[in-house]
Chain A
Amino acid sequence: MRLPDKQCTMESAVARVKDGDTVMVGGFGVPGTPMTLIHALVAHGARDLTLIKNDANEPGMGIDHLLRNGQVSRLITTHLGLNSDAIALMNAGEIEVEFNAQGMLAERIRAGGSGIGAVLSDVGLGTELARGKQVVEMAGTSYLVETALRADVALIHADRADPFGNLAYVATARNFNPVMAMAADCVIAEVETVLPLGGLPADTVHTPGVFVDHVVELEALSEEYAVVQR
């Protein structure tokens, strides 16, 4: 038996995104952000998107291109501190922003990717992040109901892959990528190197290819992947 080959072009993969879709984007700062898939999504032009991403990158980088191109109506995130563009768009009412506690964003996505409807947590009880959330009592303790998050499409960046979509990440570029790769109907991974089947030892796979729909090998890494000069 031979495992299926899921490699395709950047354009055909991103063509899966439709207007109004919810799109998860991996990354925490530059590491792990699928910069090239984001550019392909700008070229594709899908609009009225809900993005789920830890942060909004920085001006002129990553999802800032989608924000500035007017393709995003809603952003579910944890922190926009390094992107003044995103904060300006939020303050002007151009995008709706929903802030989550960072670990709870991860946990909501984990629930969505694990076939679980919601998780209970006391994180943020008594703060404004608890507003509008259902509270349940269990064994004398109050918990917020944190509903699961899923997406139509997840855009993932990995260091290495095989044609079946088994993925491996490096250093702090792992972050939200493995959990987002579990939580979307269509999972697209851009990877720096595609190894032949068997080239990624089974014990070193971080995301099993069962979760992944499309694998796109990057031809070159743009400047956006480089060390940021501040």
Chain B
Amino acid sequence: MLARAAREIAPGMVVNLGIGLPTKVINHLSADFEVCLHTENGMSGIGPSLSPERADRNLIDAGGAYVSTVPGSAFFDSVTSFAMVRSGRLDLTMLGAFEVAANGDLANWKIPGKFSPGVGGGIELAQKARRVVVLTTHTDRAGNPKLKSECVLPLTARACVARIFTDMAVIDVGPNGFELVETAEGVTPTDVAAATDAPLVLPEMTPPTF
């Protein structure tokens, strides 16, 4: 799933990888792949993560992980960082999700009564990146579908998600809702439809696997 999501990143892009699963996509990019990774706390050109022994105390990503520079990295303040986000300089962001709706609505920051740490930079990434893709398990820990006709939880942004990568499938958000693009090896379109709480448009041919 992470390796498949990594292929979504085209050479030359400016990309923000959200906290959690998306951050791990970095491990599937080769060292000479041409890409500029951005992090909200004020850096472009993120290099590999560092162990605490090798870390620089002043160099973290927005999730608090210790990271490094690459030749050509830049540091900037929070105003500049979000000017980049809101003005459309991010080609792609990969975000986690609690729920995604068939129209592309995203809920990923609050579960009332249970989890309300605040939205951080999530709204601006979801609303303003040129392309928003979601990386998530297909169902939550209790087995409930995360892909739904409508979100129940408070929204992060409306109609923002273009594509969803899960452990079961790659799904696009199209004019007719969720469209199955690929399945994970050993997973059938019927399995994916059964784990999705909204109509799933199936391709005419058997979809490729990843």
Contacts and interface: CB of A to CB of B under 8 A. Distances in A.
A141 interface: no
Interface string B129-157: 00000000000000000000000001111
Contacts of B195: none
Contacts of A90: 116
B59 interface: yes
Contacts of B12: none
A102 B120 contact: yes
Interface residues of A, number: 51
A184 B25 CA distance: 40
Interface string B60-94: 11101010000000011111011101100000000
Interface stretch (B27-35, B40-48, B185-193, B197-205): B40-48
Given A28-B42, A172-B58, A77 B118 contact: yes
Nearest to B73: A171
A135 interface: no
A101 B58 contact: no
Interface in B155-193: 155-158
A28 B77 CA distance: 10
A170 B58 contact: yes
Contacts of A124: 123, 127
Interface of A: 28-32, 54, 77-82, 87, 90, 97, 99, 101-107, 110, 121-124, 126-129, 159, 169-179, 206, 225-230
Given A78-B121, A103-B40, A129-B123, 5 more contacts: A30-B60, A78-B120, A101-B121, A122-B127, A175-B78
